[in-house]
Structure 1
Amino acid sequence: MILEHILVLSSFLFCIGIYALITSRNMVRALMCLELLLNAVNINFVTFSDFFDSRQLKGNIFSIFVIAIAAAEAAVGLAIISSIYRNRKSTRINQANLLNK
Structure 2
Amino acid sequence: MVPLYWYLYLGSMVFLIGMGGFMVRRSVIHMLLSVELMLNGVNINLVALSHYMQDLRGQILALFVIAVAAAEAAVGLALVVALFRNKPTAHIDEVKELKG
Superposition TM-score, scaled by structure 1 size: 0.92
The root-mean-square deviation of aligned C-alpha atoms, in Å, is 1.3
User: Structure 2, unaligned stretches of length 5 or more?
Assistant: none
* 2:22 paired residue number: 21
* 1:64 paired residue number: 63
* 1:50 paired residue number: 51
What is the one-letter code of the residue matched to 2:35? Answer: L
Alpha-carbon separation, structure 2, partners of 1:77 and 1:69: 12
Alpha-carbon separation, structure 1, partners of 2:98 and 2:28: 17
What is the one-letter code of the residue matched to 1:80? Answer: L
User: Structure 1, unaligned stretches of length 5 or more?
Assistant: none
Equivalent pairs: percent with the same residue?
A: 40
* 2:83 paired residue number: 84
Superposition TM-score, scaled by structure 2 size: 0.93
* 1:36 paired residue number: 37
- 1:60 offset after TM fit, Å? 0.9
What is the one-letter code of the residue matched to 2:16? Answer: C
Alpha-carbon separation, structure 2, partners of 1:99 and 1:82: 14
SS at match of 1:93: coil
Alpha-carbon separation, structure 1, partners of 2:96 and 2:24: 18
**Number of matched pairs:** 99
Question: 1:12 aligned to 2:16?
Answer: no
Alpha-carbon separation, structure 2, partners of 1:52 and 1:100: 50
